[in-house]
Structure 1
Amino acid sequence: MFDNLLLRILLLILLGAGLWVLAPFWSALFWAAVLAFASWPLMRWLTRLLGGREALAAGLLTALWIVLVALPLLWLGFSVVDQLRAGVELIKNLQVSGLPPPPTWLARTPLIGDRLIGWWYSADQQGVAFFASLKPYMGEMGNWVLARSAKVAAGMFELVLSLVLIFFFYRDGLRLERFALQMLERLIGGRAEHYMGLIAGTVQRVVNGVIGTAAAQAVLACIGFLIAGVPGALLLGLLTFACSLLMFPPLIWGPATAWLFFQGNYGYGVFLGIWGFFVISGVDNILKPYLISRGGNLPLVVVLLGVLGGLLSFGFIGLFLGPVLLAVVYNLVTDWIESPKRLQPPGGQDGGPRQG
């Protein structure tokens, strides 16, 4: 018995050491697992199409994810860096030569055009004092931008790593499923398959909600860009999809609205601002809860609390973790409450006929 206890302690130590080694990569592993799970029907179809060659199907799907997700996000990241560099150069030029002449569209602004021109010249005259007052904060601003740039770079590395790991989740998905089921059977016995289905269904609904909402926002954004005459509407729609996955679609339609005002298209600028705020961003509050709760036996309030609580507790990953954890807890409590009813024989406590 002492040998068995020692062996279990040793196994726990080895398990802890293994988790410690994997700790820096848990986020990338999580995203790779979620993406592979969400697109698993496509993996099954492509494997059948290729005659059962799982490795080839996994490689093709991994390449597809890189083209659809990694390349647009990398392009967006480099564009942001270029804009930051241009902003720094603009501030330096303003410190030396002041503001340029006011744009002609500023004077044509209804009702407040003359006042805006006056503010422009006033800001130009007071620019030296203004930049002198900002100088003590420029170092802090530079440090803040540097820290955020480091986080963006770390996020890009994590994204690339997750897209590399997704290949192995595709190739070994069935073996990983059997391994997880065997572990659950060791822990909770005969109810393991029930909870595997519960977790799989919850993750599938959350993934459908997130990706479905992002796709709807991308389509609505593309329609708005086409109506307003914004160039590159299709590309901006794809970028809106990527930003919707990060839950920040205004990062795309907001600058597009500002560009329309800068071009003097005030009507289309007002339209795109209203369309973006109420339609593109507003659909998230309606479509996502519906898609997540559809087809499940969970109350909608549990799903909403799981989504919001997961986001507040774990960040964007909590969007998936929160509903799954609450779903498992909810069903565990429900099973615990109903377990006496399942164990009780139909005829009464002792199995015999009820007495009248």
Structure 2
Amino acid sequence: MFNNDRLLVLLLLLALLGACLWVLLPFASALFWAAVLAFASWPLMRLLTARLNGRESVAAGLLTAGWVILVAVPLLLFGFNLVDYIRELTGLINTLRLEGLPPPPEWLAGMPLFGDELVDLWRTVDQQGLALFATLKPYLGQVGNWLLARSAKLAGGMLELALSLVLVFFFYRDGPRLERFVQSLLTRLIGERAEHYLELVAATVQRVVNGVIGTAAAQSALALIGFWIAGVPGALLLGLLTFALSLIPMGPPLAWIPATAWLVWQGDYGYAIFLGIWGMFVISGVDNVLKPYLISRGGNLPLVVVLLGVFGGIYAFGFMGLFLGPTLLAVAYSLLSDWVSEARPAELPASPAPRREAGEERVS
């Protein structure tokens, strides 16, 4: 039984731990992403440290600069381009409100079955444009408020990203000491299996990162192909932006939807339809197939568990759930597997058949 002094010390330690968690709570997201980035690229940190003769601070600075170039710079360029897209979209809406729609394109009338109906619909919308804008006017304020809220949330996310890129330097530099601390803590809590579960978490996070980066690379390549075919200017820059936006849920449409709107504004309706279909079913659709496959590849976790971990984790925890979901299910799956294997009774060896003495006859 606890004596009073030991109980008081335990309560004080719990209160101290709760206060520390309360202080770190506003930075939980930034700390999480910094830990994920450092954890996923730790083999590169070891290699770079060895090449630099053990200078960990220099290696940490170089890797942090690499993350800034890879992630922060494309997002910053996207912010500047987004302002231009919004300005062009505002001009398009004002032009449509004052001058109406342009004449219907020739290919629209040539469409089989519905060509004439689509042309009539085009002219009807053009003639009733003022009434249409008057009808939509009460909803424009709501759309503006929604965009303002999403812009504020996006700005907050970019600030968290910048803070995580600062914190990742310290995770790189102090990584070995943090690893020894976590391993000793888990060893004290769960004993000899601590190293096994650390390896399990490491492998799961590594596969998730490979799935996210691999999917982002595939989406950026497909987006680059679509932008080149459609003749969108700055296709390479938009491809890099697609890579950065693929790291967040529903990010790639923020690259190809404005490009599609620009094509509509330029009157290239055929390429606009192509890019819209390409973006919806190819660029954004590959995320639902390639990411779960890459995450489940090379591990003993069933694919259905991976799918539940990815989508359920995103639903429960937001973007952090992309890593937390599969990791939690992997640890739970391993714990249950170990518990079932330990609870299974050992099979008794079969008793050997009695030996027949020499000369003994078989009784019929």
TM-score when normalising by structure 2: 0.84
How far is 1:16 from its partner?
Answer: 0.8
More divergent stretch after superposition (274-283 vs 134-143): 134-143
What does 1:160-175 correspond to in 2, within 5 Å? Answer: 160-175=162-177
Q: Secondary structure, in 3 states, of the residue corresponding to 1:13?
A: helix
Residue-by-residue CA offset, 1:196-229 (whole Å, 9 max, x unaligned) = 0011111111111111111111112112222232
Q: Is the 8 A contact 2:104 2:122 kept in 1?
A: no
Residue-by-residue CA offset, 1:231-275 (whole Å, 9 max, x unaligned) = 211111111112211132222223323433443434433433333
Structure 1: distance between partners of 2:284 and 2:196: 36
Match of residue 247 from structure 2: 245
What does 1:188-267 correspond to in 2, within 5 Å? Answer: 188-248=190-250, 249-267=252-270
Structure 1: distance between partners of 2:142 and 2:263: 32
Inter-CA distance 46–231: structure 2 relative to 1 (3 Å threshold): same
Match of residue 45 from structure 2: 43
1:187 lines up with 2:189 in the alignment: yes
Structure 2: distance between partners of 1:236 and 1:57: 30
Structure 1: distance between partners of 2:67 and 2:174: 18
1:123 lines up with 2:128 in the alignment: yes
Inter-CA distance 233–10: structure 2 relative to 1 (3 Å threshold): same
1:273 lines up with 2:272 in the alignment: no
Structure 1: distance between partners of 2:344 and 2:47: 42
What does 1:311-330 correspond to in 2, within 5 Å? Answer: 311-330=314-333
Inter-CA distance 250–89: structure 2 relative to 1 (3 Å threshold): closer
Structure 2: distance between partners of 1:172 and 1:178: 10
Equivalent residue in structure 2 for 1:310, among 305, 310, 313: 313
Match of residue 54 from structure 1: 56
Percent of pairs identical after alignment? 65
More divergent stretch after superposition (98-107 vs 330-339): 98-107
Structure 1: distance between partners of 2:304 and 2:163: 35
Q: Is the 8 A contact 2:104 2:119 kept in 1?
A: no
The one-letter code of the counterpart of 1:49 is R
Structure 1: distance between partners of 2:76 and 2:247: 15
Residue-by-residue CA offset, 1:277-321 (whole Å, 9 max, x unaligned) = 332222222221111111111111111111111011111110110
Residue-by-residue CA offset, 1:129-152 (whole Å, 9 max, x unaligned) = x43x55555544443333222212
TM-score when normalising by structure 1: 0.86
How far is 1:75 from its partner?
Answer: 2.8
Match of residue 152 from structure 1: 154
The one-letter code of the counterpart of 2:197 is Y
Inter-CA distance 134–176: structure 2 relative to 1 (3 Å threshold): same
Q: Secondary structure, in 3 states, of the residue corresponding to 1:157?
A: helix
Q: Is the 8 A contact 2:260 2:276 kept in 1?
A: yes
Q: Is the 8 A contact 2:261 2:272 kept in 1?
A: yes
Q: Secondary structure, in 3 states, of the residue corresponding to 1:245?
A: coil
Structure 2: distance between partners of 1:258 and 1:138: 18
Match of residue 103 from structure 1: 102
Larger Rg: 2
Match of residue 8 from structure 1: 10
Q: Secondary structure, in 3 states, of the residue corresponding to 1:296?
A: coil
Structure 1: distance between partners of 2:159 and 2:23: 18
Is there any run of 5+ residues in structure 1 with no aligned partner, and where?
Answer: none
Inter-CA distance 121–282: structure 2 relative to 1 (3 Å threshold): closer
Q: Secondary structure, in 3 states, of the residue corresponding to 2:232?
A: coil
Q: Number of aligned pairs?
A: 344
How far is 1:98 from its partner?
Answer: 4.4
Q: Is the 8 A contact 2:204 2:326 kept in 1?
A: yes
More divergent stretch after superposition (114-123 vs 281-290): 114-123
The one-letter code of the counterpart of 1:201 is A
Q: Secondary structure, in 3 states, of the residue corresponding to 2:99?
A: coil
Equivalent residue in structure 1 for 2:295, among 292, 310, 319: 292
Structure 2: distance between partners of 1:165 and 1:211: 21
More divergent stretch after superposition (238-247 vs 309-318): 238-247
Inter-CA distance 107–118: structure 2 relative to 1 (3 Å threshold): farther
How far is 1:117 from its partner?
Answer: 5.3
Is there any run of 5+ residues in structure 2 with no aligned partner, and where?
Answer: 110-114, 354-364
More divergent stretch after superposition (231-240 vs 282-291): 282-291
Inter-CA distance 284–331: structure 2 relative to 1 (3 Å threshold): same
Inter-CA distance 301–98: structure 2 relative to 1 (3 Å threshold): closer
Inter-CA distance 67–195: structure 2 relative to 1 (3 Å threshold): same
Q: Is the 8 A contact 1:224 1:272 kept in 2?
A: yes
Structure 2: distance between partners of 1:338 and 1:84: 59
Structure 1: distance between partners of 2:101 and 2:49: 61
